[in-house]
Amino acid sequence: MAIKYVVKRNKRSEHSHKRRMYVWPSNPRVAESTAPYLCGKKKPNFLSFFSGAMGLDLGLESSGLKNIGCLELDKWACKTIRKNRPELPVIEDNINNWSGKDLLKQFGIAADEVSLICGGPPCPSFSTAGRRKSFDDPRGEVMFDFLRIINEIRPPFFIMENVRGILSAAIKHVPPSERKSANLLPEEKPGSVLRLLKKEFTKMNYTVTVELVNSADYGVPQKRERVIFIGSRDGFQISMPPPMFVNSGDLFTPRWRTLADALDCLHEDSPQIIPFSPARKKFLKLLKEGQNWRNLPLELLPEAMGGAYHSSGGKVGFYRRLSFDRPCPTVPTSPSQKSTCLCHPTELRPLSVREYARVQQFPDDWIFEGSIAAKYRQIGNAVPVGLGHQIGRSLLKYLVNYEELQDG
């Protein structure tokens, strides 16, 4: 079946919807099911895979959907889920050990009770901040286990979230120093992962919208770019809403929310942190709010940056003192490392666990289990709750109005 691939640009904001891609079967087809997605006053159900600390799940729930089960491998994330949602079924295992049929049996549900499957397969394999091993890394392969289970259960919709790097990732990673575009094999060329996914979506017979979004455009106090895949079994093209916030604000649209907005009224007597090393503090204390390594005295840069001083890229996370007046940068899985530094604007420490959670929009009563490092990791890996809410809103109008859409 032929596939159309369209890229659109939104000129409203340089930070909003920089790329929007639609992938869909070129010929309309009859829906697989004529049963309504939503009956009576019941909320539509969803299953969550790679649930983590439930950032995406909480956002979807706040939009009006109901979580009926989680699958997660990390033991501390599972403890976090059970602590906050003791009634929610949780499978603590690797997704590649399960089939769709076995999952439905374990959760005690039928396939037609599942309106949506959502998940963010582990992304270090595609991250521009990592080594980008793509499918040479087993963490890249679980994405296709995720799609396999979707195809076995065949819910009306699915959501897949990943890092921006997936748009340019290659199936087989080649180090930049060894790349010569004319000699690259098809699987070594940038973008080959996305092309492979298009083929998978065609085999699955799902219409899929792929969008690069900035979380700050949707009310999240964080500049966090992520790629959102929204799949429809029955041919609907579902896209994210237009940006609701813009960089500086204007007459009709409020400005991006800031770190000050996120931390408003938060008081901690003993904030949970992993302290900076004395060597790191030596340089951070020289920086003012909103500054980074570029603002250090030139004669100190070789010592401060170490081996990164002579590298051509990869310095964006070094020695960052945050600004209260701007959104937080993307929160990494650790704010105290040299290359992923997120220093408090006015104090000589990294953001605390609870401040991290505020930036990701978790409720203040949400409890994270494990060591401080495990808590940072769970929060840093999460989808911002507000972004999950807007994804859910985009889907809910199709779930609620399914019968009318089918008749149309």
Answer for the pair 286, 386: CB distance below 8 angstroms, yes or no. no
- Judging by beta carbons within 10 Å of its beta carbon (0-12, 13-18, 19+), is residue 370 exposed, middle or buried? middle
Instruction: Yes or no: say if 73 and 92 are a contact pair by the CB < 8 Å rule.
Output: yes
Tally of helices (H runs) and strands (E runs) in the chain: 12, 11
- Tell me if 386 sits within 8 A of 226, measured CB to CB: no
Q: What single-letter amino acid sits at 299?
A: E
Enter the tokens of residue 257: 């929310």
Is residue 319 a contact partner of residue 304, using CB atoms and an 8 Å limit?
A: yes
Amino acid at 129: A
DSSP label at residue 241: P
The phi and psi torsions of 243 (rounded to 5 degrees) equal -55, 135
Distance, in Å, from the CA atom of 341 to the CA atom of 273, rounded to the nearest integer, reads: 13
Residue 55's nearest CA partner among 156, 161, 143, 199 is: 161
For the chain, the helix, strand and coil percentages under 3-state DSSP, each to the nearest 5: 35, 15, 50
Among 70, 78, 123, 343, the active-site one is: 123
Q: Is 123 a catalytic residue?
A: yes
CA distance 387 to 379: 14
Interhelix angle 138-153/192-204, nearest 10 degrees: 20
User: Which residue, chain included where needed, has tokens 């590298």?
Assistant: 311
What amino acid positions are annotated as catalytic residues?
Answer: 123
